[in-house]
C-alpha cells in the first residue's frame, strides 16, 4: 500500500483490540514461565482470564525507576528478560545504569512504521545523529531504516563540523536524531558555508519538537516529524501527516494511568504512559515509562485524518517522576544521589533543567562551602555519571527549597 506501511494501520479499531487481547494470555504465560520477575509478580494470575482492558488493569504496574534496583539485585536484567547471552545480538546501557537487550529480529525496535509515516522510503540515505555509544538510541532508528531498505550514515553525536561536511558531501535526503542537534548541525553548516539542501525530511525524538523549530526546519525545506520512543520499548507512537497527535504503534497495548497508581484514567486526562509489548525476548507487561501523556478522546471513535485507526496520544507532556530526559538522555535522581555521596562537602543538591532558546541546559546547585576547584570536580562527576555536560553552582547551606525535589524540570514547551 502506497500511503501506509501495511494494512494493520487502517484495520477497524475493534479488530485491533480483539487481536491484541486474544494474544495477551499467551504473552502472560510466556512471561510467567520464562522470567523470574513475572513468575513472582504474576504468580496468582490465571493468564486465560486477562482478555480485556478491565482485567489487564488488575495486574501490577512495573515502573521504569524500579529497573535500576531490580537490575542491581539480579544482574543483568533484573529477571525480566527471557533470553541468554548468545541469544541476544546486543546489550545496551542507558543512564542509571539500566541495561536493555536486543535480539536478531528485523526491526526489533519497531521504528520502520514511524519512518515510513515521516516519508522515508527504500533507497533513501539517512544521516543518523542519535548516539551509537552504549545506549540504543541510534540502533533503534537504524534497525527500522534498514528494514525499509534505506542506507544509513552512522554520524552519532558531536563533531558538528565533520557532520556538516558529511551532509554536504553525501547529500542525505533524511535526518534522524534530536531536533536540537539538527539545529546545531545546520548552524555549523551555515557558518562553514556548506550546503544542506539535500535534507528534505526528518524524524526527531528524544526531546520535544517545538513548533518554532518545526517552522525553522520547514523554512529550510525539511519536513520534520516526531516519534515517541524509549530504550526499553522502542517506538511507542509516531506523528503522521495529519499532525493530530501521535499514533500508537501497532503491536502495543497502551494505557494512561494516574501517576503512582495502577488505575487507568479517562481519555483526555493526563497521566503516566503504561505499555504492554508483545516481545518474547523482553515481555514487558504494564510497563510504566514515567512519561506523561493523554489519549486524544476522538481517537476512540474515529480514525485520524490520515486514515490510521489506532489510538492517538498528545505526545510527551513531561515526567511522572523526577527522572528527566535531557538532550535525549535520561537523568535519574539516583545519579544525583551518587554524586552527593562522592563529594561529602555537598550537603544537598538540586539539578535544574531549563531550555533557553530551545536548547536543554543543566545547572547543578550544591549546598556547600566554596572551596578552590570543588565546582570543577563536581562538574566532572556530573558528566561521568550522566554522560551530559552541566554547570555547577555552589550555594549557601540551607538555601535550596525544602520540597523534596532532586531534579527540577523548569523547561517550557510552548
Of these ranges, 65-69, 162-166, 341-345, the one predicted with the greatest mean pLDDT is 162-166
* pLDDT of amino acid 322: 77
* pLDDT of amino acid 370: 85
pLDDT band at 41 (very low <50, low <70, confident <90, very high): very high
Q: Mean pLDDT, the chain, as a whole number? A: 94
- Reading the block at residue 138, the C-alpha cell is 541510534
Whether 71 and 147 share a structural domain? no
Mean pLDDT over 370-374 rounds to 91
Whether 234 and 110 share a structural domain? yes
Mean pLDDT over 244-256 rounds to 97
Spatial contact of 220 and 186, defined as CB atoms under 8 Å apart: yes
Domain assignment present for residue 95? The answer is no
Domain assignment present for residue 2? The answer is no
Whether 372 and 307 share a structural domain? no
Kindly give the pairing relationship between strand 329-331 and strand 287-293.
unpaired
CATH number (domain holding residue 198): 3.40.50.12780
Whether 60 and 170 share a structural domain? no
How far is CA 127 from each of CA 169, 228, 359, rounded to the nearest angstrom?
12, 19, 21
Whether 144 and 187 share a structural domain? yes
- The residue from 239, 256, 278 where one domain ends is 239
CATH number (domain holding residue 51): 2.30.38.10
Whether 276 and 362 share a structural domain? no
Domain assignment present for residue 97? The answer is no
Whether 232 and 118 share a structural domain? yes
Spatial contact of 374 and 349, defined as CB atoms under 8 Å apart: no
* pLDDT of amino acid 111: 98
pLDDT band at 136 (very low <50, low <70, confident <90, very high): very high
Domain assignment present for residue 330? The answer is yes
Domain assignment present for residue 89? The answer is no
* pLDDT of amino acid 404: 64
Element (H, E) at 292: strand 287-293
Whether 273 and 217 share a structural domain? no
Whether 138 and 120 share a structural domain? yes
List helix spans (H) across 192-348: 211-219, 333-342
- The residue from 210, 239, 268 where one domain ends is 239
- The residue from 320, 345, 362 where one domain ends is 320
Mean pLDDT over 44-63 rounds to 97
* pLDDT of amino acid 58: 96
Tens digit of pLDDT for each residue in 188-214?
A: 999 999 999 999 999 999 988 989 999
* pLDDT of amino acid 1: 40
Spatial contact of 314 and 296, defined as CB atoms under 8 Å apart: yes
Q: Which range has the worst mean pLDDT, 59-68, 308-317, 404-413?
A: 404-413
Tens digit of pLDDT for each residue in 165-180?
A: 999 999 999 999 999 9
Query: What b/e string do you get for 95-106 counting C-beta neighbours within 10 Å, with b at 16 or more?
Result: bbbbbbbbeeee
Domain assignment present for residue 52? The answer is yes
- Reading the block at residue 131, the C-alpha cell is 548516539
Range of the domain at 109: 105-239
Whether 346 and 315 share a structural domain? no
DSSP three-state, residue 93: strand
Whether 235 and 252 share a structural domain? no
End-to-end CA separation in angstroms for the chain: 36
Q: Which range has the worst mean pLDDT, 67-76, 80-89, 277-286, 326-335?
A: 326-335
Please enumerate in sequence order all residues whose Cβ is within 8 A of that of 323, keeping only pairs 6 or more positions apart, or say none: 64, 65, 290, 330, 331, 332, 333, 407
Domain assignment present for residue 96? The answer is no
CA atoms within 13 A on the CB side of 315: 18
Report the domain count for the chain: 3
Whether 334 and 394 share a structural domain? yes
CATH number (domain holding residue 343): 3.30.300.30
pLDDT band at 406 (very low <50, low <70, confident <90, very high): confident
Domain assignment present for residue 175? The answer is yes
Of these ranges, 26-35, 324-333, 336-345, the one predicted with the greatest mean pLDDT is 26-35
More confident residue, 65 or 250: 250
Amino acid at each position: 500500500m502506497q500511503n501506509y506501511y501495511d494494512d494493520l494501520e487502517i484495520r477497524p479499531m475493534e479488530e485491533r483490540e480483539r487481536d491484541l487481547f486474544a494474544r495477551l494470555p499467551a504473552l502472560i504465560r510466556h512471561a510467567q514461565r520464562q522470567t523470574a520477575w513475572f513468575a513472582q509478580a504474576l504468580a496468582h494470575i490465571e493468564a486465560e482470564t486477562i482478555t480485556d482492558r478491565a482485567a489487564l488493569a488488575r495486574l501490577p504496574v512495573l515502573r521504569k525507576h524500579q529497573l535500576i534496583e531490580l537490575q542491581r539485585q539480579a544482574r543483568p536484567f533484573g529477571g525480566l528478560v527471557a533470553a541468554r547471552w548468545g541469544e541476544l545480538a546486543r546489550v545496551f546501557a542507558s543512564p542509571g545504569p539500566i541495561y536493555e537487550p536486543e535480539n536478531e529480529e528485523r526491526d526489533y525496535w519497531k521504528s520502520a512504521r514511524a519512518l515510513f509515516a515521516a516519508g522515508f522510503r527504500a533507497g533513501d540515505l539517512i544521516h543518523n545523529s542519535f548516539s551509537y555509544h552504549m545506549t540504543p538510541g541510534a540502533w533503534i532508528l537504524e534497525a527500522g531504516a534498514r528494514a525499509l531498505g534505506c542506507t544509513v550514515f552512522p554520524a552519532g553525536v558531536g563533531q558538528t563540523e565533520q557532520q556538516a561536511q558529511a551532509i554536504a558531501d553525501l547529500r542525505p535526503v533524511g535526518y534522524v536524531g534530536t531536533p536540537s542537534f539538527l539545529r546545531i548541525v545546520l548552524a555549523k553548516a551555515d557558518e562553514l558555508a556548506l550546503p544542506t539542501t539535500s535534507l528534505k525530511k526528518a524524524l526527531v525524538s528524544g526531546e520535544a519538537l517545538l513548533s518554532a523549530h518545526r517552522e525553522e526546519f520547514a523554512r529550510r525545506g525539511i519536513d520534520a516529524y516526531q516519534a515517541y520512543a524509549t530504550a526499553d520499548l522502542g517506538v511507542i507512537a509516531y506523528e503522521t501527516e495529519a499532525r493530530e497527535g501521535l499514533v500508537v504503534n501497532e503491536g502495543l497495548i497502551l494505557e494512561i494511568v494516574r501517576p503512582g497508581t495502577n488505575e487507568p484514567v479517562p481519555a483526555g486526562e493526563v497521566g503516566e504512559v503504561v505499555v504492554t509489548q508483545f516481545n518474547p525476548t523482553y515481555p514487558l507487561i504494564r510497563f510504566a515509562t514515567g512519561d506523561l501523556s493523554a489519549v486524544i478522546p476522538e481517537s476512540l471513535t474515529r480514525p485520524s485524518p490520515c486514515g490510521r485507526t489506532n489510538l492517538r496520544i498528545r505526545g510527551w507532556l513531561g515526567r511522572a517522576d523526577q527522572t528527566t530526559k535531557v538532550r535525549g538522555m535520561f537523568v535519574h535522581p539516583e545519579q544525583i544521589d551518587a554524586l552527593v555521596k562522592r563529594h561529602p562537602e555537598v550537603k544537598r543538591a538540586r539539578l535544574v533543567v531549563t531550555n533557553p532558546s530551545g536548547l536543554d541546559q543543566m545547572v547543578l546547585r550544591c549546598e556547600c562551602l566554596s572551596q578552590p576547584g570543588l565546582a570543577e570536580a563536581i562538574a566532572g562527576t556530573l558528566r561521568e555519571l550522566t554522560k551530559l555536560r552541566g554547570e555547577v553552582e555552589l550555594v549557601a547551606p540551607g538555601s535550596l527549597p525544602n520540597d523534596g525535589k532532586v531534579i527540577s524540570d523548569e523547561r517550557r514547551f510552548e
